[in-house]
Amino acid sequence: MPKEQHKPFSLSLKAIVLNQERRCLLLRRSGTSKNNPGKWEFPGGKMDHGETFDETLKREVREETGLEIRLLRPVDTAMSSLSNCHVVYLFMLAETEPGEVRLSTEHDRYHWADAREMESVDLAAQFRAVARQCTSFMAP
């Protein structure tokens, strides 16, 4: 059996965060990032031991952006393979109230994208299919 199949799996939760104007929050990975430097992505990250999905996403979005979110529902899944593991992504739809975005060092820019921009932004490959679905959530 090829070694590729024996890599461990990791679960990463990502939030599709919409603001009052129905724009979607995207974060750009810093240029020094080990994975996908300079690519845009949705906020989120890995679960800590003992956390629920909701707790993980609220914590990750707060750590990466300073924003508080309200989770609405699961949206989709995706998968990618890194050098040390396979990553399974679970995407959840969320809303946030107006607030100032304060980026962590993981990211160097943020953007509230409208539906037209979701197709053209330079997203990491594993997030492109989900981004296409976002336009249906962004309609008023």
Residue 1 is assigned to a structural domain of this protein = no
Residue 118 is assigned to a structural domain of this protein = yes
Residue 130 is assigned to a structural domain of this protein = yes
Q: Which domain holds residue 123?
A: 7-138
d(CA 29, CA 40): 6
Residue 117 is assigned to a structural domain of this protein = yes
Identify how many contiguous H helices and E strands the chain contains and give both numbers: 2, 7
pTM of the model: 0.89
pLDDT at residue 102, rounded to an integer:
96
- Is 50 exceeded by the pLDDT of residue 50? yes
- Neighbouring C-alpha atoms within 13 Å toward the C-beta of 99: 16
pLDDT at residue 5, rounded to an integer:
65
Residue 2 is assigned to a structural domain of this protein = no
Overall number of domains in the chain? 1
Q: Say how many residues make up the chain.
A: 140
Q: What is the CATH number of the domain that holds 31?
A: 3.90.79.10
